[in-house]
Structure 1
Amino acid sequence: MPTEARAKLSFFKLGSIQLELIEPDHHPSTWRESLDRNGEGFHHIAFFVNGMKEKISLWQRNQIPILQKGENAVGHYAYAYMDTLPQLKLLIELLEQEKS
């Protein structure tokens, strides 16, 4: 389902880890929902994958629904947030980089 949600993003590379800070706007999104429900803190852990559609289907077959998906503003990657809140108390984000 499309959303008007936007966010300010800041990325920090820390060796093999990338820290992403997200400040959501007022529109409905998983970011806004998490901030309103839990306050500031961890929202998700991201993993780069190949074959995004197949990975999403696999998770959904295992009763883990997708909450939000899309592409970044410049189209370099696609993302999907999977609803792992009941199991992990945070979301798992799947990322797939655009193939050059």
Structure 2
Amino acid sequence: MEKDNTILGTTFICQVAILVRDVEKATRRFAELLGVPVPNIILANEDGSDTVTYLGQPTQGRVRLSFFRMENLVLEFIEPTEDPTTWKDFLDTKGPGVHHIAFKAKNRMLETAAKLEDFGYPLIQHGDKYAYVESTADLGVILELLDID
């Protein structure tokens, strides 16, 4: 359900992402658990086509991903590379676990990120189609804004 009167502009969670040390293993085991085919694992931004910024600095921002399209949301497994990113820092300091929950922010990703910054959740990383804001002190999880339909 979309709600334009919220700071986020929506109450619709479209994705939950979990950081893992071995994306192949996590993907295979989750597929076994669900009894579904193992989805492809991709190396995102291998070609550097996405402009990624982490803590105000450019980074290649490569990451290994798999996606499970569930009935009500997408579950994403993420294995960081050595590139400086929120994913790598999170895994190095906190270990595997839920990294973020994502909300759709079509055509208003950076505008919503600015509102969240005013709310006390600073922008920590963004690419062409996503933005992460630091909200873990209050919410226990990072919020992601996805520029998707």
TM-score band, normalised by the shorter chain? 0.7 to 0.9
Which has the larger Rg? 2
Q: TM-score, normalised by structure 1?
A: 0.85
Which of 50, 75, 80 is the aligned partner of 2:131?
80
Runs of 5+ consecutive residues of structure 2 not aligned to the other structure: 1-56
Normalising to structure 2: TM-score of the pair? Answer: 0.59
Runs of 4+ in 1 over 6 A off after TM superposition: none
Spell out, residue by residue over 1:40-85, the C-alpha distance to the aligned partner (whole angstroms, 9 max, x if none): 11100011113112211111111210000002xxxxxx10000001
Percent of aligned pairs with the same amino acid? 39
Q: Within 5 A, what are the aligned runs for 1:38-49?
A: 38-49=94-105
Deviation at 1:4? 2.3
**Structure 1 residues 1-100: aligned runs within 5 Å:** 1-50=57-106, 51-71=108-128, 78-97=129-148
* Total equivalences in the alignment: 92
RMSD between superposed Cα atoms in Å: 1.3
Q: Please give the alpha-carbon distance, in whole angstroms, between the structure 1 residues aligned to 2:80 and 2:110.
A: 26
Indicate the structure with greater strand content: 1
